[in-house]
């Protein structure tokens, strides 16, 4: 039994673990994949206050080492269910009124373990959104990728395309432009969500071509990707681009359905919670990209981790 179980060891979960440990409580992190969350796929983080430049991997590793050095435990197992532990005997106060004590919550994992704590912080983050076009799954790992940092090196000297208009797409395109022969940045609008600074940097690159108001409509190639078809949304014109790689960076989706019995999910599947990171369910808190919020950044994930951890520690007393 831990004091606080934190589901997800991304920046929000690891920040929460640091705050739980520093509050004198025991944090147990449950992580289905690897620690660090999406940030490990970011080549360079340049907007975390106090750190001018760091790779996403190094940032995640530093967070992990900080949390575990403080005593947080990390178990690689997928949390599948949260339930209230059935109470054996009701406790009474000296005045004879029922005590308002924190109930014990049980977290069951895919590995069959059951962990208990009085508070749980859901920091499940989000996963890569799929384009949902034909052969996307079949060609994933054979030219189609969702992670330029992980797979970019395979495309040295080759032409590639990046799809998306947010910070991830801009950063991926910049990263790839350093060693790919050509980078097509395909985006469905003219305007970008990503930071103007990254956009300016891309505009200065000779090997980057913007393909705007366009969507990827077809993937070509037999056993591996050899090209993509893009369709202009305004004119309907179809263009074939010969590329060896397609990096899909069209945002993320949450994965919170398994916890829908304990928390309210908004229309898009994010956990409904405000800046105080409470969910409305006693003992259940949330932090980071998995909750309804306007700004999903490393800084806001870390901030949520601190808020949720302190709220959880105060709840369990």
228 binds ligand NAP (CB under 6 A): no
Q: Where are the alpha helices (DSSP H) in 26-147?
A: 56-69
304 binds ligand NAP (CB under 6 A): no
C-alpha gyration radius of the chain: 22
Nearest residue to ligand NAP on Cβ basis: 166
Contact 77, 32 (CB under 8 A): yes
Sign of dihedral through CA atoms 46, 50, 54, 56?
Answer: negative
Active-site residue flag, 222: no
- Write the binding mask 135 to 174 for ligand NAP: x where contact by CB under 6 A, - elsewhere: -----------------------------xxxxxx-x---
254 binds ligand NAP (CB under 6 A): no
Rounded to a whole number of angstroms, the minimum distance from the CB of residue 170 to ligand NAP is 8
Quick one: which of 303, 305, 308, 252 has its CA closest to 38?
Answer: 252
Catalytic residue among 134, 150, 266, 276: 150
Catalytic residue among 58, 77, 147, 232: 147
- Round to whole Å and give the CA distance between 243 and 94: 74
Active-site residue flag, 147: yes
193 binds ligand NAP (CB under 6 A): yes
Neighbours of 317 (CB within 10 A): 7
Helix, strand counts (H, E) of the chain: 6, 18
Residue position matching structure tokens 């532990």: 85
Active-site residue flag, 277: no
Query: Between 102 and 198, whose beta carbon lies closer to ligand NAP?
Result: 198
User: Which residues carry out catalysis?
Assistant: 147, 150-151
Residues in touch with ligand NAP (CB under 6 A): 42, 45, 47, 129, 131, 164-169, 171, 188-189, 193, 215, 249-252, 296-298
């Amino acid at each position: 039994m831990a004091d606080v179980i934190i589901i997800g060891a991304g920046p929000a979960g690891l920040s929460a673990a640091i705050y739980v440990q520093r509050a004198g409580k025991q944090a147990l992190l449950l992580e289905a994949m690897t620690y660090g969350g999406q940030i490990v796929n970011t080549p360079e983080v340049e907007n975390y206050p106090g750190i001018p430049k760091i790779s996403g991997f190094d940032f995640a590793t530093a967070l992990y080492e900080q949390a575990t050095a403080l005593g947080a435990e990390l178990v690689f197992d997928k949390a599948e269910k949260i339930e209230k532990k059935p109470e054996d005997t009701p406790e009474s106060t000296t005045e004879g009124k029922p005590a308002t004590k924190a109930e014990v919550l049980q977290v069951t994992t895919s590995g069959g373990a059951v962990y208990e704590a009085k508070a749980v912080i859901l920091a499940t983050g989000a996963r890569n959104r799929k384009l949902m076009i034909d052969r996307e799954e079949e060609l994933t790992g054979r030219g189609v990728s969702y992670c330029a940092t992980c797979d970019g090196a395979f495309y040295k000297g080759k032409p590639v395309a990046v799809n998306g208009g947010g910070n991830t797409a801009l950063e991926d395109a910049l990263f790839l432009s350093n060693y790919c022969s050509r980078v097509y940045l395909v985006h469905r609008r003219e305007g970008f969500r990503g930071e103007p600074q990254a956009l300016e940097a891309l505009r200065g690159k000779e090997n980057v071509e913007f393909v705007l108001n366009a969507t990827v409509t077809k993937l070509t190639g037999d056993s591996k990707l050899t090209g993509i078809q893009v369709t202009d949304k305004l004119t309907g014109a179809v263009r074939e681009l010969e590329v060896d790689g397609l990096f899909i960076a069209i945002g993320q989706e949450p994965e919170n359905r398994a916890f829908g019995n304990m928390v309210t999910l908004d229309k898009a599947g994010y956990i409904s919670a405000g800046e105080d990171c409470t969910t409305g369910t006693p003992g259940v808190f949330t932090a980071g990209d998995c909750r309804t919020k306007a700004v999903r950044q490393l800084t806001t994930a870390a901030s949520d981790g601190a808020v949720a951890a302190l709220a959880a520690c105060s709840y369990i007393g």
